[in-house]
Amino acid sequence: MPRHGDYFHEGVMRNIKDPRQGRLIDVFQGALGDVGWRVIADGWQGDFRHVVLQELPALRLGAHLDEFRGRPSAELYAMCGLLLQREFHDWTVPQAHEAILFRSDVQYALNLEPAYEVS
């Protein structure tokens, strides 16, 4: 059964969460404290989350994913955003992997929940 955020493309389920959809409660505000949350929300991370992320070609990328290879269940906007951040910050693949796993500011910028797991 499809979950919220799942969509089908040519019979293959893809996970996508519209970055323009707001949250009732932002879990980062409680996790980071008021000052930390404001720094991230007002910094490049907030701009990325609220401006850049929604402009990324996640739907076009999802149309080209193979149902038998890769990770079609990963959230597509977040993965596009991570690729862009990887280039911008000149990260290696292991550095990008660590950033999405451990850095709250990167998770915030990508509109992911804290402690997001990606393999």
Question: Which of 33, 29, 84 is CA-nearest to residue 55?
Answer: 84
User: Residues 6 or more apart from 105 whose CB is under 8 A from it?
Assistant: 40, 43, 45
The pLDDT assigned to 21 comes to 67
pLDDT band of 3, cuts 50, 70, 90: very low
Question: Is the pLDDT at 92 greater than 70, yes or no?
Answer: yes
Span 56-62, average pLDDT: 82
Cβ–Cβ under 8 Å, residues 2 and 13: yes
52 SS3 class: helix
pLDDT, residue 14, reads 58
Distance from C-alpha of 99 to C-alpha of 76, rounded to nearest angstrom: 17
Three-state SS sequence of 58-114: HHHHHHCCCCCCCCCCCCHHHHHHHHHHHHHHCCCHHHHHHHHHHCHHHHHHCCCCC
- Chain segment 64-87, per-residue pLDDT in tens: 776 666 655 568 888 899 999 999
Rg of the chain (C-alpha set): 14
Please state, rounded to an integer, the average pLDDT across all residues of the chain: 78
What's the whole-number mean pLDDT along residues 58-65? 76
- 33 or 42, greater pLDDT: 42
Region 8-13 average pLDDT: 50
**At residue 40, does pLDDT exceed 70?**
yes
